Structure formats: structure tokens, C-alpha cells
């Protein structure tokens, strides 16, 4: 498989002391660091290496497998920062500096996972959290589990496993004789200049060039790709811009309800691409609420329908050679899918009342169906909060009052939400979306499965989209308007114009109908309840054919997924 790695850092002769034994010869060795990788690394001379995929930061990117002397010197002279300006990809870079100082940088896309822990004098980093954490009593950090259940926006570097942290996208961790330090080397705010002027047509043309370059660069790395397609905008963009010679398997997942059957859209896409469409149905037989969904994640964020997807993928790989899973994941987030009044406020703050703010008001009305006065009231609320710390959305349903009062966050722990004073409200929302997109990108453990690539989360696409004003993304009342315009003539018109989107919500209802009682029984006598985290009144009326009943059922399954994950890591199942 590709991308599994382990890095052990320490000062001087302590390198690797106390670390779990690692099989095989290291790919890079220095007195202060050792690196193991299951794929060839890119050497930075004798001063480090790069794990993962690296591409040139030019209009027609080429994958880099080795560095010339000039590039090596530039990387070392910048202490690694030139990687962020001259290249892009999905990588973790290890750079050895003077005096045995070692820096580990994770690229801004976050597509190569990187977790770390301190152990017996060493700092150990790896792609698979199961290499770093040990199952058993005390393995689960229940406070972080509670924080996660309240709000994804409140999660920073700490995971839900005791002693395990995440090296966030764009961060660098440095180990020297003086200790360990963390630095943010890439921040989204560099790309969100409020005064920057860009016109809609120019933005769309550039987005088309940059996205096509990134997707084709990724596609050229693999001979056979499995792409999940729904006929939605994001997966369709990926499908239509992959290299034509790549063996692309298009897979559409179907649930037996009208909102979960998108075969007609996916079939139209496959016809245009002249590629076969593989259709598979979600199966209740693949779901067991007593089993953890994604135990390789350091957070219990994966929903139960992922068990069925995993079974489908496993069967597909048994019959086809697959080197990578591709998806359109993160497209909504990168393409700024906002449905608030923030674009109106952004335009007013940037251009004043005599600009096209009334055009944006009309666009938002068409997009959301709300009347102008309603939008203006919401805009006023957003305007009054401009300059204040970002709000953290929270959901305390199903959680005890005592725990909620303790853990409801008043601020984000993610450094990207330490926002500049002149940050526009809509761009704050855009950045929040990017943070959410980077949570648990990995479908499967890298040690045992093909990797997952979300091409739309590539650094050049992220940086460009951050620079596009929020009001352009709602142009003419269209959601993700710049992306729709960018791929006119490439993505079929009926897919570009889709305003609704299906999904597995109907399948999740069936999961609750068939296994909801089992989920409730697990929660009543489970670890979350014993930790004082639950409000068991969440069970009252759950599953009733009302919006509240449906919301309660979904929440119960979310809580149960956290319960089974915690039990597995606590070695209780």
C-alpha cells in the first residue's frame, strides 16, 4: 500500500529510545531521526526526506520523485518553507538542521495523515494512529470525545486518544536540544485579502485551469482508480478532468429511497465519459451498530453507513485491481458552499453600499428562498459581530447538562480560527468549512488499504478559492457558482445545473429502524453513560415520523458510534 510511515525523533543518541520496534530498514537515518516508509521517499540530500506525493507548483505540474542540488539548497536555505511555495501535494517532510534540530512539516492539504506522541524521551510520528496508541483502560480521552460530540469546530490538535495529537495541515513540529515547538507555516488568511479585486469570468477561467491541472496530476500517479460518483457537481468535476488514459472505475452507491437513488445522473456522467458505471446498493447486512465504524480514526466521527461502503469497496477490490480511491470530498467546502447572509456583509464591508450589494442580496434570495428583509436581518446580526471571535456552532442534544456546561466551547482550538482583525465574516465561514473537510480524510488504514485522494483539496485549488470573494460564489443565485461556470462544456449541463443532492440519509433511517433498540441498549449501559456524558431523554420519541424524531434517531446513532469506538479502544469489545 502507499503512504504508511513512521518517524522517530530524539536529541542525539536517544533517537528511537523506548519506541515500539519497527520492522524493516529505515528509509532515512540520522543521529537525531529515523524514518520508515512503505514507499520510496524523496531525499533532501543528506538532510532529510519527503514522504508522499510531491508536484511542481507550476501550471502543468509534474510529479517529483527526486530533487536536484539547486532545489535541495533552496529547501535547506528556507528551512523547508520553500516547499509550501514551490510545490504542492500530499506529503510530510523531515528536515535536519544545524545542531541536530529536526523539523517535520505537514502539507496544507492535510491529505497525508500525521499523528504524534511523546514516549520515553522520543517524539514519534506516524500515518496510522494504531501504531502510536495502545488499546486498554485509559486509552480514550472522554473529555475530547464530549467536545467532539458538541462541535467539530472546537477540535484542535488533541485527538480523542490519550496522549495522541495531530500535526495539523500546514504545521511544523520542531525538536531540538531545547525541546519541542509547534509553528503554523501555512495559514489560509494569507490568501483572503479583503481588498483583492477579481472578476467572475476571470475567477472561473483560473479555477478551471488550476483544478484540471491538480486532478490530472493526481490521476497520473495511479494506473487504476475507483471513483465514487453521484452525478453531483464535485465528483463530476473530478471524473471529467482525470487523465483520459487512466483506468477509472465509476462507482455509484444506491439506497432504496427516492432521495438516495442518483443512478440517472451518474449514468449520464458515465455516458459522457464513455466509461462503465458500477452500481452497488447499501446493505443493512453490512452494518452492525455494536462494531466500531473506523477504529483507525483518532476521533469517532465516521457514521454507520460507512460500514456498508467499506464492504462494497472490499468486494470491488477483490474483483478489480485498485491503486487508489478518489472522491469529490471537500468540494462543497473548498467551493464555498455558504447559505448565509455573510456574502452580502462581505461585499458591503469590502466595497461599500454603492457597489453591487443589492445584486448580492437578490442572489441570496434566489439561492435560499428567503425574502430580502429576512436576509437583511441576518446580515445585520453578522455585521454586528464582525471583528469578534468566530462563533462555535454546538449541538448538546443527548448530552448531560453538567457535561455540556463544562465543555461547550467559547473559542476554537484550531489555529486557523485565530482570525485577523480585518477578516470578513464569509471568509471565516469558508475557513471553518476547510477545517471540517480535513477531519478524517482517510477512508482506510494506509498500512493495509489503497489510499484515498480528494483532489479538490489540493493546495493550489484551496489557495485560489480562498482568494475568490464569497459573493462571487453565489452569483446569479447559484450555489458554488464559480465552479459551475468553470466547467461549462466539460461537465454535462444537467449535472452543472443540479440544485439538489441525494445521500444516505434514508439508509441511516433504515439502520435505526432495524438496530435502534440495540443502539439504545448499548448507550444505556455503556461507557459514555458511566462517564456522566449522556442525557437519556434523547431516546424519547426517537424514530417517530417527525423532524424531531428523525433528528433524535440520527443523534442516537452518532452517540452509539462514539460508544463503540470508545469500547474498542478501551479493549471492552
- As averages over each run of 10 residues, the pLDDT of the chain (573 residues) reads 84 43 81 94 97 92 96 96 97 94 97 91 92 95 94 88 97 92 96 86 98 96 95 95 89 87 92 94 97 94 96 96 96 96 96 89 96 96 89 91 81 86 94 89 89 97 97 97 97 90 88 96 96 95 91 97 97 81
Residue 344 counted as domain residue: yes
Contact 430, 346 (CB under 8 A): no
530: in domain: no
Residue 376, pLDDT score: 97
User: What is d(CA 12, CA 176) in angstroms, rounded to the nearest whole number?
Assistant: 9
Same domain? For 429 and 471 the reply is no
Q: Which domain holds residue 243?
A: 200-285+306-334+437-496
- What is the predicted pLDDT for the residue at 23? 62
User: Does 465 share its domain with 386?
Assistant: no
234 and 173 part of one domain = no
**Same domain membership, residue 374 and residue 253:** no
Residue 220 sits in the same domain as residue 322: yes
* 88 and 28 part of one domain: yes
Same domain, 180 and 211: no
Quick one: pLDDT at residue 259?
A: 79
The last residue of a domain, from among 471, 496, 521:
496
Which neighbouring-strand residues pair with 94? 49, 104
Residues 347 and 469 in one domain: no
360: exposed, middle or buried (Cβ count in 10 Å: 0-12, 13-18, 19+): buried
For residue 195, tell me if it sits in a domain.
no
Domain contains 399: no
The pLDDT value recorded for residue 18 is 38
How much is the pLDDT for 415? 93
| 529 part of a folded domain | no
Alpha-carbon distance 444 to 528, whole Å? 25
Q: Which of 21, 1, 19 is nearest to 9 (CA)?
A: 19
The reply to whether 422 falls in a domain is yes
- pTM for the whole thing? 0.95
What is the pLDDT at residue 440? 67
Residue 547 falls inside a structural domain: no
- Pair 323, 452 in one domain: yes
59 and 86 in a single domain? The answer is: yes
Give me the pLDDT at residue 14, please: 44
Tally the domains of the chain.
Answer: 3
> Same structural domain for residues 97 and 11?
yes
Among residues 137, 158, 186, the one where a domain terminates is 186
Backbone angles phi, psi at 356, to 5 degrees: -95, 35
Q: Is 40 exposed, middle or buried (0-12, 13-18, 19+ CB in 10 A)?
A: exposed
Give residues with Cβ within 8 angstroms of 56, minimum separation 6.
62, 64, 86, 87
234 and 327 in a single domain? The answer is yes
Q: Is residue 553 part of a domain?
A: no
CATH number at residue 330: 3.40.50.620
> Looking at residue 410, what is its pLDDT?
64
Amino acid at each position: 500500500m502507499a503512504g504508511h510511515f513512521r518517524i522517530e525523533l530524539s536529541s542525539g543518541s536517544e533517537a528511537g529510545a523506548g519506541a515500539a520496534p519497527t520492522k524493516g530498514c529505515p528509509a532515512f537515518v540520522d543521529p537525531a531521526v529515523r524514518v520508515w516508509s512503505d514507499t520510496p521517499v524523496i531525499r533532501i540530500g543528506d538532510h532529510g526526506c519527503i514522504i508522499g506525493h510531491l508536484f511542481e507548483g507550476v501550471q502543468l505540474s509534474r510529479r517529483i520523485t527526486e530533487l536536484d542540488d539547486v532545489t535541495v539548497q533552496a529547501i535547506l536555505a528556507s528551512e523547508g518553507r520553500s516547499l509550501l511555495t514551490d510545490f504542492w501535494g500530499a506529503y510530510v517532510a523531515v528536515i535536519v538542521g544545524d545542531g541536530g534540530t529536526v523539523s517535520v512539516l505537514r502539507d496544507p492539504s492535510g491529505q497525508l495523515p500525521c499523528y504524534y506522541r511523546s514516549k520515553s524521551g522520543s517524539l514519534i510520528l506516524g500515518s496510522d494512529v494504531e501504531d502510536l496508541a495502545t488499546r486498554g483502560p485509559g486509552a480514550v480521552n472522554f473529555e475530547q470525545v464530549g467536545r467532539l460530540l458538541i462541535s467539530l469546530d472546537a477540535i484542535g490538535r488533541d485527538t480523542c486518544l490519550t496522549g495522541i495529537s495531530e500535526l495539523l495541515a500546514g504545521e511544523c513540529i520542531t525538536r531540538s536540544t531545547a525541546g519541542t515547538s509547534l509553528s503554523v507555516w501555512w495559514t489560509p488568511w494569507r490568501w483572503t485579502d479583503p481588498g483583492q479585486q477579481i472578476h467572475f469570468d476571470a475567477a472561473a477561467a483560473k479555477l478551471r485551469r488550476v483544478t484540471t491541472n491538480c486532478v490530472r496530476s493526481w490521476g497520473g500517479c495511479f494506473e487504476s482508480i475507483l471513483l465514487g460518483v453521484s452525478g453531483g457537481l464535485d465528483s463530476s468535476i473530478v471524473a471529467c478532468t482525470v487523465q483520459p488514459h487512466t483506468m477509472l472505475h465509476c462507482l455509484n452507491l444506491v439506497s432504496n429511497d427516492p432521495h438516495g437513488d442518483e443512478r440517472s445522473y451518474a449514468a449520464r456522467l458515465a455516458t459522457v465519459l464513455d466509461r462503465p458505471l458500477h452500481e452497488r446498493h447499501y446493505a443493512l447486512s453490512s452494518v452492525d451498530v455494536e462494531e466500531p465504524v473506523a477504529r483507525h480514526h483518532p476521533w469517532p466521527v465516521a457514521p454507520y453507513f460507512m460500514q456498508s461502503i467499506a464492504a462494497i469497496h472490499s468486494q470491488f477490490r477483490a474483483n478489480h485491481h485498485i491503486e487508489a480511491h478518489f472522491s469529490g470530498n471537500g468540494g462543497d467546502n473548498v467551493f464555498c458552499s455558504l447559505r448565509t447572509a455573510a456574502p452580502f456583509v462581505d461585499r458591503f464591508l469590502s466595497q461599500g453600499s454603492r457597489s453591487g450589494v443589492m445584486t448580492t442580496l437578490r442572489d441570496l434570495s434566489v439561492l435560499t428562498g428567503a425574502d430580502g428583509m429576512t436576509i437583511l436581518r441576518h446580515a445585520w446580526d453578522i455585521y454586528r459581530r464582525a471583528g469578534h471571535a468566530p462563533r462555535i456552532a454546538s449541538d448538546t442534544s443527548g448530552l448531560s447538562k453538567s457535561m455540556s456546561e463544562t465543555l461547550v466551547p467559547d473559542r476554537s482550538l484550531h489555529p486557523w480560527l485565530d482570525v485577523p482583525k480585518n477578516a470578513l465574516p464569509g471568509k471565516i465561514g469558508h475557513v471553518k468549512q476547510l477545517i471540517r473537510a480535513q477531519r478524517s480524510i482517510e477512508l482506510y488504514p494506509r498500512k493495509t488499504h489503497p489510499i484515498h485522494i480528494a483532489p479538490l483539496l489540493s493546495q493550489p485549488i484551496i489557495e485560489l478559492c480562498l482568494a475568490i470573494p464569497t459573493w462571487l460564489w453565489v452569483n446569479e443565485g447559484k450555489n458554488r457558482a464559480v465552479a459551475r461556470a468553470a466547467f461549462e462544456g466539460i461537465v454535462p449541463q444537467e449535472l452543472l445545473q443540479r440544485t439538489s443532492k441525494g445521500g444516505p440519509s434514508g439508509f441511516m433511517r433504515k439502520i435505526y429502524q432495524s438496530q435502534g433498540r440495540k443502539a439504545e441498549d448499548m448507550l444505556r449501559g455503556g461507557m459514555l453513560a458511566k462517564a456522566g456524558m449522556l442525557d437519556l431523554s434523547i431516546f424519547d420519541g426517537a424514530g417517530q415520523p417527525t423532524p424531531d424524531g428523525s433528528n433524535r434517531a440520527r443523534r442516537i446513532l452518532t452517540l452509539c458510534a462514539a460508544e463503540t469506538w470508545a469500547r474498542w479502544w478501551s479493549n471492552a469489545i
